[in-house]
Amino acid sequence: MLLLVAACATAPETGRSQLILFSEAEDQELGLTAFRQVLSEARLVRDPRVVARVRRIGWRIARVTPRTDWDWEFVVIDDDEPNAWALPGGKVGVHRGIFKVARTDGQLAAVIAHEVAHAVARHGVEKVSRELLLGLGLAALGAATGDEDLTAGAAVAGLLLVSLPFSREQEREADHIGLLYMARAGFDPREAIRLWENFRRLEGDDLPAFLSTHPPKEERLLRLRALMPRALEEYRRARIGS
């Protein structure tokens, strides 16, 4: 666990180079540890119709990613805040509050595809790697060098994983990759635009935490619109194929 090996990785679809200090096996372990931690503190929605809907949409998207080998899991958290997240290795959570803005299957697919894209592009371990390289997390990790303290090192990395925000560049990339994934899975990519418009209407109210990291700015919609012709092409192809 946490043998720090600097390695260059490449993000899917965009081809962006990434500096990641973790092996893919370590990603999985970190994600699973953080997932268990989150689940131990959260209450799950048990309504089988709600859970089945999220899983059905989640699976359709997971199937078109290059990570069909991952042990994907989709859970619904009983929380009124419109939020969603994904952890390395394919553990995805959707908060009940997201249904206020994601009103159709296509809009829910846009949320899930964005989160799936963060996971597949290894954004979580990339942001932890950056933090460790900056030295901030490294000090904490350095305090946990003994054999018996390796789990402490993993705990620090796990904490960074859930607490650090994604960079703006990672958010743009998740929008880009997510749009293509939802289209490839047979969901109308124009629903992503409608989703962000729904989010915008929330802005007047108390700003949910999700929106502080995912501002539905005009710039975001412009980028999605610029990608739309390609996404619509993928969508048409998916519909012909199905």
Contact positions toward Zn ion, by CB under 5 A? 171, 174
What residues contact 124, with CB distance under 8 A and at least 6 apart? 27, 30, 31, 86, 87, 88, 118, 161
Minimum distance from residue 114 beta carbon to Zn ion (Å):
6
- Using only the alpha carbons of the chain, give its radius of gyration: 18
- Burial-class residue 80 by CB neighbours within 10 Å (0-12, 13-18, 19+): exposed
Token pair of 48 as six digits: 């089988």
The catalytically annotated residue of 26, 115, 171, 173 is 115
Q: CB nearer to Zn ion: give 38 or 152.
A: 38
233 catalytic per annotation: no
Minimum distance from residue 118 beta carbon to Zn ion (Å):
5
Minimum distance from residue 206 beta carbon to Zn ion (Å):
20
Minimum distance from residue 213 beta carbon to Zn ion (Å):
7
Q: Distance between CA atoms of 223 and 175, rounded to whole angstroms?
A: 9
Residue nearest to Zn ion (CB): 174
Q: Are strands 91-95 and 84-87 parallel, antiparallel or unpaired?
A: antiparallel
Q: CB nearer to Zn ion: give 40 or 212.
A: 212
User: Dihedral angle at the C-alpha atoms of 227, 228, 234, 238, nearest 10 degrees?
Assistant: 140
Minimum distance from residue 126 beta carbon to Zn ion (Å):
13
Q: CB nearer to Zn ion: give 164 or 238.
A: 164
Per DSSP (E only), the strands in the chain are 7-10, 17-20, 73-77, 84-87, 91-95
Q: CB nearer to Zn ion: give 174 or 185.
A: 174
On the CB side of 10, CA atoms within 13 Å amount to 5
**Residue 165 DSSP symbol:** P
Q: CB nearer to Zn ion: give 145 or 213.
A: 213
Give the catalytic positions in this structure. 115
